[in-house]
């Protein structure tokens, strides 16, 4: 394994915007190059670390607070953390940045209509039908990042282009 500086690349965006797809591909590239990489994904974390939480603003903030703690521990121990969370609130993301330190915000920008088309779980359909409430992008807000290090346009970039943008920024920042 390479000697490496730990960092957290935080992928934020609407549900189904492409966060997981891009981060998984970035992780594959980094692992192939010998980096220690950990993937933290919203769906997986909610099954274990934060299974006691719902989707109120308070619970969403607590979810991100716990993930921030884990990301900080991994990062300070030389791991490249690729975290994929809707994390809809700017203030909580700001706190996460401050707590972690070596932090790269990756805004996965994608129009909601494209996210709806990609929704294999049918969550947008349920939210639009009123079957579930508090769904980000439908009846709960998503506060776009104001100054992310990377902006991906997954509706018009190829996966390879998005991955390269992330890798280029990580290299420019001295993390890889």
Neighbours of 44 (CB within 10 A): 12
Neighbours of 73 (CB within 10 A): 13
Are 162 and 82 in contact by the 8 Å Cβ rule? The answer is: no
Which H/E stretch holds residue 96? helix 90-100
In the annotation, is 87 catalytic? yes
Residue 160 CB burial class (10 angstroms; 0-12, 13-18, ≥19): exposed
- What's the rounded Cα separation, in Å, for the pair 47 and 75? 22
Set 17, 71, 75, 87: catalytic member: 87
DSSP secondary structure code for residue 56 in this structure: S
- What's the rounded Cα separation, in Å, for the pair 56 and 16? 20
Catalytic residues: 87
């Amino acid at each position: 394994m390479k000697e490496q500086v730990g960092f957290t690349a935080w992928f934020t965006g609407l549900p189904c915007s492409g966060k997981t797809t891009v981060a998984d591909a970035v992780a594959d590239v980094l692992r192939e190059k010998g980096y220690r990489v950990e993937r933290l994904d919203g769906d997986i974390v909610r099954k274990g670390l934060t299974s006691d939480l719902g989707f109120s603003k308070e619970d969403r903030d607590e979810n991100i607070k716990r993930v921030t703690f884990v990301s900080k521990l991994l990062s300070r121990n030389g791991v490249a953390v690729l975290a994929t969370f809707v994390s809809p609130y700017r203030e909580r993301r700001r706190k996460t940045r401050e707590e972690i330190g070596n932090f790269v915000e990756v805004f996965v920008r994608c129009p909601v209509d494209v996210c709806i088309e990609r929704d294999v779980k049918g969550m947008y359909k349920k939210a639009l039908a009123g079957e579930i409430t508090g769904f980000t992008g439908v009846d709960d807000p998503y506060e776009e990042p104001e100054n992310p290090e990377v902006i991906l346009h997954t509706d018009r970039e190829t996966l390879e282009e998005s991955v390269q943008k992330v890798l280029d920024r990580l290299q420019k920042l001295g993390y890889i």
